[in-house]
Amino acid sequence: MNISFELFPPATSNGIGKVVEIARQLADFQPDMISVTYGAGGSGRERSSRLVAELNKPGFPAITAHITLSGQSKQDVLQQMDEWQEHGVKRFVALRGDMPDMARPFKPHGDGFSSSLDLMAHLASHGAEEIYGGAYPEGHPESPSQSAELDHLKAKQDAGATALITQYFFEVDCFLRFRDRAESHGITLLIIPGILPVANFEKAKGFSKRCGASIPQFVHDRFAGLHNNPH
């Protein structure tokens, strides 16, 4: 079974070493890659850059860097891309990302990329070896229809995406139905299912509501009464 891990940069620079140690332990599972995110509107870029630099060394799996366009100028995004490529990173997860104020609807930066499609096309023409796009088995919260969602995924494929990584889901059938719809729509890319290890169910519920991932009743039932149980 192929597996990869996604790491968030620590809240402060002092936590870099701890995350590096976690990545070292995860490397024992021989993942295909470890990806490193950063926050809404490019927040936490410095910590993400430091983490990428620490992990993109011998002894660690291939590093994939998230790069988002929301709330940032094209110059900011390209500077980040150049910095990561200088560290030897050639794999990217290219996303629109959330606005700095996540309650606000997306609006392109006046001097920025207009969409993830533009970002992918740029990455594809500037040395990126792997470009991963996002996909939503239950539909993006802002998508007007299932058909529009699939059209957008097909456009990502045409823009240069080499694979898709889905938002997490809790029911396998949800992913399988989505995969079949995508294939019927002419999407031939590898679709990698996203899985969320639930460490805090209350936080998972809040995040799921924002990203459009439904939580079936059987999951609620399994976590019932465990909110004060750290194990």
Sequence-separated (6 or more) residues with CB below 8 Å from residue 57: none
Which residue reads 């590096």 in tokens?
20
Identify the residue whose tokens are 């509107």: 41
How many residues comprise the chain?
Answer: 231
CA-angle at 230, arms to 40 and 8, nearest 5°:
20
C-alpha span between 214 and 223 (Å, rounded)? 15
Rounded to an integer, what distance in angstroms lies between the CA atom of residue 94 and that of residue 11?
22
DSSP state of 42: G
Residue with tokens 């019927």: 184
DSSP 8-30: PPPSSGGGHHHHHHHHHHHGGG-
Residues taking part in catalysis: 6
**210: phi > 0 → left, psi -120 to 50 → alpha, else beta; which?**
alpha
